[in-house]
């Protein structure tokens, strides 16, 4: 048995407080891992019994007795071993029902018991209010929303538990009337993901939760104002998203190291102040692939990062304006920069970008991908 929450391998037997059901708790985190339900069965087993039945029978006259003379018959009458009037025993079999009391146990996953225990404190704390049933329903909807989105994104259980705790804390300080429970639960999950520094973009969370990004951003502000939260430092940094993007694109370590260096230089020197770290990461990956001679198209990078090809080309063009400051000092590219990207773009980046260069760049990109 292995705990799905903390991956520990030891459990202890316990019983629930209300229903008194038998459960197995993890000795490490205390969560319910398994639940057992016992049933009593009353059966009547047919048991065969052997009862002896004794009968006294008389021997029938035989032809041997009739053929004997009178003196021989008189002598046989005085013989004590004459088999007349012997006792014959018969056995009778009967099937009688005997009662048996059996107990069977059925074990299944402890997710429902864990949900019951999670919502138990909510129902007990709100039992005195008239809208206690509404609060329990809202908490149940939020819990299921967080669990569903976390399972789609492959997040750990600690993150979903922390997100549900943030949702409950927010509900205790603000009113949920005329507000979306699912959107607030998704915003709580976003905050928990940022605090755990998990590489998940807002677009991925929006698709998994089926909630628009603008609505999630609106409820993130509501959550932050209610709990007075501040965005964690470097929760959306290059180092968080870059390893995951490079892994999905199946890039080697040299290309990943170069892309990470380019992205960090862009952030530290403020070359693209209007761009978010995800856009910079995508453009840095595309630039590193050009220098490392890795054939990755814009469509492949955009599919992984969630950007559009137009945005990728714009950020990539901004990086080329300072390309000589982005590379490490001792770096030797596999493809010379003159071949990796157009020379007209390099010249325009070092001097001033003209209108002809702005029109020529997308065409050259298309030619490179077609080639």
Per-residue pLDDT 10s for the chain (371 aa) are: 677 777 777 778 877 666 667 778 887 777 777 777 677 777 777 777 777 766 655 555 555 555 555 666 566 566 555 555 555 666 667 777 777 777 777 776 766 777 777 666 655 555 445 456 778 888 888 888 998 898 888 888 888 888 988 998 888 888 888 889 999 999 999 989 888 878 788 888 999 999 998 899 899 888 888 888 765 544 456 777 788 888 889 888 888 888 988 888 888 888 887 888 888 889 999 988 888 888 888 899 998 888 888 999 999 888 888 877 888 888 888 877 777 765 444 444 444 443 334 334 443 344 444 44
219 and 163 both lie in a single domain: yes
Inside any domain, residue 218:
yes
pLDDT value of residue 359: 37
Confidence (pLDDT) at 172: 84
Residue 119 lies in a domain: no
Structure tokens at 187: 């915003």
Q: Same structural domain for residues 222 and 243?
A: no
The domain in which residue 301 lies consists of: 238-370
Same domain, 201 and 245: no
Cβ count near 101 (within 10 Å): 8
| pLDDT recorded at residue 139 | 86
Domain count, the chain: 3
**Does residue 247 sit in the same domain as residue 306?**
yes
What pLDDT sits at residue 101? 73
Specify the pLDDT at position 275: 83
H-helix or E-strand spanning residue 181: helix 181-196
Beta bridge partners of 11: 26
- 323 found inside a domain: yes
Q: Which two tokens stand for residue 45?
A: 């087993």
Same domain membership, residue 138 and residue 214? yes
Specify if 358 maps to a domain: yes
Q: What is the CATH number of the domain that holds 331?
A: 1.10.472.10
What is the greatest pairwise CA distance in the chain? 155
Of 207, 227, 247, the position where a domain reaches its end is 227
Same domain (yes/no): 178, 200: yes
Whether 66 maps to a domain, the answer reads no
Q: CA 179 to CA 186: how far, in whole Å?
A: 13
In a domain, 244, yes or no: yes
Which token pair is 64?
Answer: 């041997």
Q: Is residue 68 part of a domain?
A: no
Q: Identify whether 252 is part of a domain.
A: yes
Q: Which of 183, 207, 227 is the last residue of a domain?
A: 227
Are 147 and 115 in contact, with CB atoms under 8 Å apart? no
Q: Are residues 244 and 351 in the same domain?
A: yes
> 196 with 272, same domain?
no
Indicate if the alpha-carbon torsion angle 26, 31, 33, 38 is positive or negative: positive
Task: Please give the structure tokens belonging to residue 7.
Answer: 């991956």
**94 Cβ contact list (under 8 Å, min separation 6):** 48, 49, 51
Q: Are residues 266 and 360 in the same domain?
A: yes
Query: Which residues touch 347 (CB under 8 Å, ≥6 apart)?
Result: none
Sheet holding 11-15, edge to edge: 11-15, 22-26, 32-56, 87-109
Q: Are residues 223 and 247 in the same domain?
A: no
Clarify whether residues 181 and 249 are in a common domain: no
Of the residues 86, 110, 134, the one at which a domain ends: 110
Are both 332 and 257 inside the same structural domain? yes
pTM: 0.56
Per-residue confidence (pLDDT) for residue 233, from 0 to 100: 43
The pLDDT value recorded for residue 160 is 87
């Amino acid at each position: 048995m292995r705990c799905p929450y903390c991956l520990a391998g030891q459990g202890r037997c316990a019983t629930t407080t209300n229903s008194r059901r038998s459960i197995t708790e993890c000795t490490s985190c205390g969560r319910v891992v398994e639940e057992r339900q016992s049933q009593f069965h009353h059966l009547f087993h047919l048991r065969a019994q052997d009862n002896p039945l004794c009968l006294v029978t008389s021997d029938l006259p035989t032809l041997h007795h009739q053929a004997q003379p009178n003196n021989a018959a008189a002598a046989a009458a005085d013989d004590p071993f004459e088999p007349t009037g012997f006792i014959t025993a018969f056995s009778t079999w009967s099937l009688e029902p005997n009662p048996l009391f059996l107990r069977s146990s059925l074990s299944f996953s402890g997710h429902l018991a864990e949900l019951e225990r999670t919502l138990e404190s909510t129902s007990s704390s709100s039992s005195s209010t008239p809208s206690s049933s509404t609060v329990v329903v809202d908490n149940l909807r939020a819990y299921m929303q967080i669990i569903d989105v976390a399972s789609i994104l492959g997040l750990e259980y600690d993150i979903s538990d922390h997100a549900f705790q943030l949702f409950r804390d927010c509900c205790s300080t603000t009113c949920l009337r005329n507000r979306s429970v699912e959107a607030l639960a998704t915003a709580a999950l976003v905050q928990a993901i940022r605090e755990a520094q998990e590489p998940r973009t807002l677009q991925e969370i929006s698709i998994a939760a089926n909630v628009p990004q603008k609505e999630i951003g609106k409820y993130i502000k509501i959550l932050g104002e209610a709990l007075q939260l501040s965005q964690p430092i470097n929760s959306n940094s290059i180092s968080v998203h870059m390893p995951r993007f490079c892994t999905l694109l199946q890039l080697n370590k040299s290309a990943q190291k170069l892309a990470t260096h380019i992205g960090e230089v862009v952030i530290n020197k403020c070359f693209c102040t209007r761009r978010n770290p995800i856009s910079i990461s995508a453009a840095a990956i595309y630039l590193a692939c050009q220098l490392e001679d890795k054939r990755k198209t814009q469509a492949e990078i955009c599919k992984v990062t969630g950007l559009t090809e137009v945005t990728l080309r714009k950020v990539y063009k901004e990086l080329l304006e300072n390309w000589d400051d982005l590379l490490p000092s001792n770096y030797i590219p596999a493809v010379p920069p003159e071949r990796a990207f157009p020379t007209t773009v390099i010249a325009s980046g070092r001097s001033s970008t003209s209108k002809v260069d702005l029109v020529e760049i997308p065409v050259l990109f298309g030619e490179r991908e077609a080639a």
